[in-house]
Amino acid sequence: MIELLSKPATRFIGAAVLALAVLILVLLGLREQRGMIDDAVALKGRERDSFWTAKIEKSNADLNKRAADQAAAIIRIQSDMADRNRADQIALHNLREQNALLPHGNDCGLSGDRVGLLPD
């Protein structure tokens, strides 16, 4: 048989093919490792986004609750003020009726009876 390549050339080609195969495997491994790192970074980013979204939602819920509590307090205060105003209007109406029933309603000044109508 005719030998096409010498023994050293065959060894060199074999070593080169082996080195090329190792290089390809290393590159594929690095590519896979980079993909795993990218996946881990994306997962961590989604976890942080979820964490801060939950914090913001909780803060917004607390703020909305405080606003609702303040609105309820305002409604209570307005209701109390309306009740007081109504009571004051009734008291003023009664005072005017009592004043009108007193004798000498057209006199100037205060009589003893009218002074008795004044609040303390």
- 12-55: per-residue pLDDT in tens? 888 999 999 999 999 999 999 999 999 999 999 999 999 999 99
- pLDDT for res 117: 73
pLDDT at 3: 64
- Whether residue 76 lies inside any domain: the answer is yes
Residue 115 lies in a domain: no
Mean pLDDT of the chain: 88
Q: What total of structural domains would you count in the chain?
A: 1
More confident residue, 10 or 105: 10
Within a domain: 116: no
**Cα dihedral across residues 20, 24, 29, 35: positive or negative:** positive
Tell me the three-class secondary structure of 49-91, residue by residue. HHHHHHHHHHHHHHHHHHHHHHHHHHHHHHHHHHHHHHHHHHH
Determine, yes or no, domain membership for 90. yes
> Does the predicted model carry a pTM greater than 0.85?
no
pLDDT at residue 62 tops 50: yes
Residue 106 clears pLDDT 80, i.e. is over it: no
- The band of 1, judged by pLDDT with boundaries at 50, 70 and 90, is very low
Is residue 106 one of the residues assigned to a domain? Answer: no
Q: Domain range for residue 61? A: 15-97
